[in-house]
Amino acid sequence: MSDVLLTLYCAAADGELIADHIGEAQQTMVHLRNEQVFGRDFADASPSERVMGQLRRCALEVIVPHDAIAPLVASINALGRAAPVRWHTVPILSAGRLS
């Protein structure tokens, strides 16, 4: 079964909650980045983000088996979050470790 890179974009306030959840569910490491998004679509923005004209987002990256995506996304959906989460996956074509 091939692995995929799952990237989730969530509100900064939801970042740690979702990261903890993924970490527990998948027993793997999660990469978390704070990002400023000067987006054109403010549908996900909170009022303060609309005021400031920028979305303070958190990007979470985790490599998981492809068939784990659906239950993982469903479980994140069930979490009590502050704002919507967007996600996408890309296949891992190759991976390795250099020491």
Residue among 10, 79, 94 nearest 49 (CA): 10
Helix (H, G, I), strand (E, B) or coil at 7: strand
Question: Residue 44 CB, nearest distance to other proteins (Å)?
Answer: 12
Is 88 one of the binding residues for other proteins (CB under 8 A)?
no
The residue whose two tokens read 């303060």 is 48
Is 24 one of the binding residues for other proteins (CB under 8 A)?
no
Interface residues for other proteins in 48-77 (CB under 8 A)? 48, 50-53
Q: Under rule CB under 8 A, how many of the chain's residues touch other proteins?
A: 11
Dihedrals phi, psi of 96, to nearest 5 degrees: -175, -175
Binding residues for other proteins (CB under 8 A): 40-42, 45-48, 50-53
